[in-house]
Structure 1
Amino acid sequence: MIDSFDGLSTRLIIEGGRRLEGTLHAPGAKNAALPIMAAAILAEGETVLHRVPRITDVDVMTAILESLGARVREQPGGTMVIDTSSVNSYAPPYALVSRLNASFDVTGALIARFGRAEVPQPGGCVIGPRAVDLHLRGFEALGVEIDLEHGAIIANAPSLNGATIALAKRSVGATKNIMLAATKARGTTVIENAALEPEVVDLADFLCAMGARIRGQGTPTITIDGVRKLHGCEHTVIPDRVVAGTYLIAGAITGGDVTLQGLDPAMLEALADKLRATGAAVDAQGVSVRVQGIPAWKPVDVVTAPYPGFATDLQAPFVAYLSLAKGTSLVEETIFDARFVYVSELARMGADIK
């Protein structure tokens, strides 16, 4: 049950102890939808997106696009129509950007469209700040001049020229932003040590549908041949592997029987392997994944890692699951330093976590 209070917040009231059963489809992936919405800035015309999740982050990105001059219409069933033909600003307001970490995705698109962007440093993330230095180094390699003024990043690109950019570490955000900026750069851009995440692949596939020339998405080396013009297109956002994985963990922790349909099981392979290691039954066939929980499960060690490793976004629900395992588990977080902020709350509920 969701209970509103104080006029500003909501709280969830959960009555536990029930076995979860059922079949469902995961919503569209937030981490794919947000950069794809930002990428619509590159189009000259309308873009139609399907399976867009109805969440606050999407509302904020919608407001950011509208602040730049875009017209956005939501239709039933998770469809969104974005018309960016009237976009006339390269400076989204701080009041919106500060609410959403993914707001920085508009930077690469604005640079490619206008040769300029003025974007406040992003916010909106409870697990701590996320550095954008890799993004900025990538932009500079393409010929973008970067300044920092009053907490905003000022990017000016007299010309964009392709380059070979070797990322110091694998970064989803930097891979996306460099790819966006490079779509209209002169010549060829090569991103080495690129992120492999399905959401990066989905963004690249969307850009290709707009007329971009990108190859190698889903591998450590992505190649972008710049083009002069991109057009609107129609695209369906991939399912959200984090939401799907969370439902699978919920099924396992309640000893239930839960099936997720309409998604590629490979996106959840790392989670499925760990669930099986605890004793849960996981069956992946075609475009579905089914988990069947058991009364008592074994401990297992987990190390988060970039895709295709164990997703950092699934670490918290999996720790809750492991807190009820019959033995001691070791969980190592390698992506975000502040990802364990929730542990004290689990301890208040009786979890033994050190």
Structure 2
Amino acid sequence: MSMYEIQGGRPLGGRLRVQGAKNSVLPLLAAALLAPGQSVIHNCPDLSDVSATLDILDLLGCRVAREGKTVTVDATALRGSAIPERLMREMRSSVIFLGALLARTGSAKLCYPGGCELGPRPIDLHLAALRGLGAEIREEGECLTCTAGRGLRGARIHLPFPSVGATENAMLCACGAQGVTTLVGAAREPEIVDLERFLNKLGARVSGAGTPVVTIEGGRPLHGAEHTVMGDRIVAATWLCACGAAGGEIALTGVELGSLDTVLSCLEQAGGRLECAGEEIRFRSTGPLRGIAPVHTAPYPGFPTDAQAILMAALAGGRGQTLFVENMFESRYRHVPELQRMGADIRVRGRCAVVTGSPLHGQRVESTDLRGGAALVVAALGAEGTTQVTRLSHIRRGYQDMEGTLRQLGADIRLLPTNRDTGEDHGICETQPKAKTAPKPAWHTL
């Protein structure tokens, strides 16, 4: 195992092309199952979640090859429809195979998915949507056995909440259903639009992605296709917040500007200077960020929950006060105690967190989840002294070569081994000496 060692206080500078989107490529790879033939997917990031997805495709009988940023999936010889527990536990997004397998083979067997522990994230909406399309689903312990029953058929499906995963699963399953399916209350995220583009290239007929109503004309013959994954808007937000925390000037390309509107607005309020021209975002930070108007996470086009911890980390080392309200997940403040170890003044009550900017100092901290880990790196770049960030497995689920990218921007970051014998590869152990300053409690009253 390994950790990052980061020397804070060095301004960032340079130009980057943003990697392909994790939250787009995973459903795209599942969609490749729908079509006999070869699909070629470009701009595919090298992430542990992507590797796990490719392992699942290989196990199901697909021929999978990777060359640089291009992945080729030939699903002609697809066999079986069961995914073992060990692969399902590696990431929550593995549940996306449910709709694709039902559409292609008429059956699917898998266990409940794993991934980051962000509080209850039931897949009830996924199952209800698939049942609405005619699927018969039996839950046996932690395993699901699904069949097409008398056949999948188009239907009008109402989603009571705009779940991204449920929308994607329903879209994939509906491609194999006879007749027209209308999803009402669908998620509107840009990744849904990217999935629609790929499905239509496969020969499906899907429309309405990016709006609350998506229509799928099912039962059409499908074939392999070529597609380029959209840029990752959350990774882009991470580099922008890193520059906000550390200072400096960076330019980003390869990401749709409109997908970052809420994040860009917050950074401008905080005192950063933005210039957007064509496909380039140029961001400059010349002093400590200041507090901004309350940040409420919400489904797209609202402020993304995936960027909440990252922006919080950037503002924690600035000045002034900001209120965060987390409306999406119950346990999305697990990074707060670690930021507090670095001197952050954050008070949490329920879904609300008040951040009062103050100087941060280096400390040994532990990644709690994917975006929480990225937040600790952002905080470390703006902190005084040296910070060590452990449990990098979380970060590698969504960031390709984070240390290399940040070094390219001028950050002082090193990848170091941790000591397996002392258990340090799992973060801060109980036998480790306590910090001189006790961390502030995470859950005291506002």
1:293 is aligned, of 249, 262, 285, to: 285
2:51 is aligned, of 38, 41, 59, to: 59
Structure 2 runs not aligned, ≥5 long: 348-446
2:316 counterpart letter in structure 1: S
Q: CA deviation at 1:150?
A: 3.1
- Residues 276-327 of structure 1: per-residue CA shift (max 9 Å, x gap): 1111111122111111112133201211111111111111111111112321
1:134 is aligned, of 118, 125, 149, to: 125
Partner of 1:309: 302
Q: Does 1:326 align with 2:319?
A: yes
CA distance in 1, matches of 2:115, 2:265: 32
Q: Contact 1:206–1:235 (CA<8 Å) still a contact in 2?
A: yes
1:304 counterpart letter in structure 2: T
- Residues 170-198 of structure 1: per-residue CA shift (max 9 Å, x gap): 10000000000001211110001111101
1:227 is aligned, of 207, 219, 234, to: 219
Q: Does 1:348 align with 2:333?
A: no
Q: Contact 1:110–1:117 (CA<8 Å) still a contact in 2?
A: yes
CA distance in 1, matches of 2:156, 2:82: 28
- Residues 325-353 of structure 1: per-residue CA shift (max 9 Å, x gap): 32111011111111100100000000010
CA distance in 2, matches of 1:264, 1:99: 29
2:19 is aligned, of 12, 27, 52, to: 27
CA distance in 1, matches of 2:231, 2:307: 15
CA distance in 1, matches of 2:202, 2:213: 21
Q: CA deviation at 1:129?
A: 4.2
Deviates more, 1:105-114 or 1:256-265: 256-265
- Residues 128-152 of structure 1: per-residue CA shift (max 9 Å, x gap): 3421000000011111111101311
Partner of 1:122: 113
CA distance in 1, matches of 2:162, 2:220: 28
- Residues 106-163 of structure 1: per-residue CA shift (max 9 Å, x gap): 1000000111111111112232342100000001111111110131111111301111
SS class of match (1:353)? strand
1:126 counterpart letter in structure 2: E
Q: Does 1:238 align with 2:237?
A: no
SS class of match (1:130)? coil
The 5 Å alignment of 1:198-277 reads 198-277=190-269
CA distance in 1, matches of 2:289, 2:99: 46
2:108 counterpart letter in structure 1: A
2:345 counterpart letter in structure 1: D
Q: Contact 1:305–1:311 (CA<8 Å) still a contact in 2?
A: yes
CA distance in 2, matches of 1:87, 1:186: 21
CA distance in 2, matches of 1:286, 1:119: 44
Q: Which has the larger radius of gyration?
A: 2
CA distance in 2, matches of 1:101, 1:129: 12
Moved over 3 A (4+): none
CA distance in 2, matches of 1:88, 1:130: 30
Q: CA deviation at 1:212?
A: 0.4
CA distance in 1, matches of 2:288, 2:106: 58
SS class of match (1:224)? strand
CA distance in 2, matches of 1:328, 1:270: 18
CA distance in 1, matches of 2:288, 2:22: 33
1:179 counterpart letter in structure 2: M
CA distance in 2, matches of 1:96, 1:129: 20
2:346 counterpart letter in structure 1: I
Q: CA deviation at 1:11?
A: 1.0
Larger RCO (alpha carbons 8 Å, 6+ apart)? 2
2:157 counterpart letter in structure 1: I
Computed over aligned residues only, the root mean square deviation of the Cα atoms, in angstroms, reads 1.0
2:8 is aligned, of 2, 16, 27, to: 16
